[in-house]
Amino acid sequence: MFVYADNAATTAVSKKVVEAMLPYYTEVYGNPSSLYTVGQKAKEALEDARERVAKLIGAKPREIYFTSGGSEADNQAIISAARLGAKKGKKHIISTKFEHHAVLHTLQALEKEGFEITLVDVHENGVVVPSEIEAAIREDTALVTVMYANNEIGTIQPIAEIGAICKAKGVLFHTDAVQAISHVHINVVEQNIDMLSISAHKFHGPKGVGVLYARGGIVLTNVINGGAQERGKRAGTENLAGIVGMTVALEDAIAHIDENNEKFAKLQDKLIDGLSKIPYSELNGDRNSRVKSNVNFCFEGIEGESLLLLLDDKGISVSSGSACTSGSLDPSHVLLAIGRPHEVAHGSLRISLGEDVTEEQVDYIVKSVTEVVEYLRGFSPFWDDLVEGKRPHVFKESSIA
């Protein structure tokens, strides 16, 4: 059986999206900046996409900037707010400990330039407390940036409440909504979001295209310099086919949020119930305030990497928080941020559901994970130490309430 359950890493482009994109490679291939007809047709399609995307999040078309994806949108939002703040002598930025690296690494670069960064706690449940953001805001705070839903553990943050606090305090507020846009209803006006990042490939659109929404009046700083595309704020010939594909994918995703959530919730319950039966295991992140497609577990005495490779042998594509393949032996900063000790943070597994995943496949995942965890523990010296009482267990034998 083949099961793709890593939809938080990327998704398949839907047929409908591919079909919508094709004419923009072969027929309407003009450069939107060209004045002749095929260029102007491309320009029309570009502006049509901008209007449609804006409408989906409650924004105005001129507030939508097309980028190369979520990482670029995060970089540009944060750098822009930093430059605007610095002009007024504000060089303090607030974020959280478990942001995506597109945010954290941009903040680290700004720190080297003399900005001061406060990363608020995300607590054991992986949810930010809005009053702690409020308490961290200072006279010189230029920006608050908090992700909408975490990419590893799926926890949803109280974005509207944080937005209201930032508005009252007169501080710019950005949210990385890459993992949320297809799972939660988002309206930038109602939720007081000044800037927001999304990425097409997380909702069945193509890779390499995304959106930065920036409220009117916010002057962006270019991260890509060159031509005058995107109102002069993002140079480079527009990825029109990608933008059209993203628009169709986003309309589709948002139209099906409730229906998908209902379906995912059942499968999520089944996965959590099933995996909780594995001794010395625990769910990561809040049980309720999380996207319905995400399940993330830690298992004691396991290397996440080995778990994921053995599951791959069984045809299951999932991901692990430990990042040996990405050239680092450090456990996930997200799992450390929610207080998991190093030794269990290494033994994590993320399952992220997609529309195609069936109940039968979920049963197969539970069965396979249970077998593989038992198998790996069978020759883990670390597990032997736990069994022999040479090390204390981190989790209870049973996590079933």
Ligand X SMILES: *Cc1c(COP(=O)(O)O)cnc(C)c1O
Neighbours of 223 (CB within 10 A): 20
Binding of residue 347 to ligand X (CB under 6 A) = no
Listed ranges 38-46, 68-76, 225-233, 308-316: which one lies at the site for ligand X (CB under 6 A): 68-76
CA distance 210 to 68: 6
Listed ranges 33-41, 63-71, 231-239, 391-399: which one lies at the site for ligand X (CB under 6 A): 63-71
**Could you tell me the smallest distance in angstroms from the CB atom of residue 314 to ligand X?**
26
Binding of residue 196 to ligand X (CB under 6 A) = no
Largest CA distance in the chain: 77
Query: Among residues 14, 145, 151, 322, which is the contact residue for ligand X, using CB under 6 A?
Result: 151
Selecting among 324, 336, 387, 394, the annotated active-site residue is 324
Binding of residue 176 to ligand X (CB under 6 A) = yes
Listed ranges 199-207, 246-254, 315-323, 336-344: which one lies at the site for ligand X (CB under 6 A): 199-207
Query: Among residues 30, 70, 245, 304, which is the contact residue for ligand X, using CB under 6 A?
Result: 70
CA distance 127 to 212: 24
Binding of residue 106 to ligand X (CB under 6 A) = no
Query: Among residues 20, 49, 102, 248, which is the contact residue for ligand X, using CB under 6 A?
Result: 102
CA distance 351 to 4: 9
Q: Which of 52, 102, 23, 46 is nearest to 253 (CA)?
A: 52
Binding of residue 69 to ligand X (CB under 6 A) = yes
Q: Which residue type occupies 299? A: F
**Could you tell me the smallest distance in angstroms from the CB atom of residue 178 to ligand X?**
4
Supply φ then ψ for residue 376, to 5 degrees. Answer: -65, -35
Q: DSSP letters of 131-178?
A: HHHHHH--TTEEEEE--SB-TTT-BBP-HHHHHHHHHHHT-EEEEE-T
Long-range contacts of 303-312 (CB under 8 A, 24+ apart): 303/346, 303/347, 303/376, 303/380, 304/346, 304/347, 304/348, 304/349, 306/376, 307/347, 307/349, 307/369, 307/372, 307/373, 307/376, 308/349, 310/372, 310/375, 310/376, 311/368, 311/369, 311/372
**Could you tell me the smallest distance in angstroms from the CB atom of residue 71 to ligand X?**
3
**Could you tell me the smallest distance in angstroms from the CB atom of residue 211 to ligand X?**
10
Binding of residue 293 to ligand X (CB under 6 A) = no
Of residues 155 and 281, the one with the C-beta less far from ligand X: 155
Q: Which helix (H) or strand (E) holds 294?
A: strand 294-299
Strand partners for 307: none
Beta strands 64-67 and 210-214 are: antiparallel
Of residues 57 and 366, the one with the C-beta less far from ligand X: 57
Of residues 134 and 176, the one with the C-beta less far from ligand X: 176
Binding of residue 291 to ligand X (CB under 6 A) = no
Looking at residue 6, what DSSP letter applies?
Answer: B
Print the binding letters for residues 297-336 with ligand X: x by CB under 6 A, - otherwise.
Answer: ----------------------------------------
First to last CA, the chain: 32
Query: Among residues 125, 179, 182, 284, which is the contact residue for ligand X, using CB under 6 A?
Result: 179
324 included as an active-site residue: yes
**Binding residues with ligand X: total (CB under 6 A):** 15
Query: Among residues 178, 195, 335, 365, which is the contact residue for ligand X, using CB under 6 A?
Result: 178
Q: Which of 250, 237, 273, 281 is nearest to 398 (CA)?
A: 281
Listed ranges 174-182, 184-192, 244-252, 351-359: which one lies at the site for ligand X (CB under 6 A): 174-182
Query: Which residues make up the interface to ligand X (CB under 6 A)?
Result: 69-71, 74, 100, 102, 147, 151, 176, 178-179, 199, 201-202, 210
Would you please indicate which residues are annotated as catalytic (active-site) residues? 324
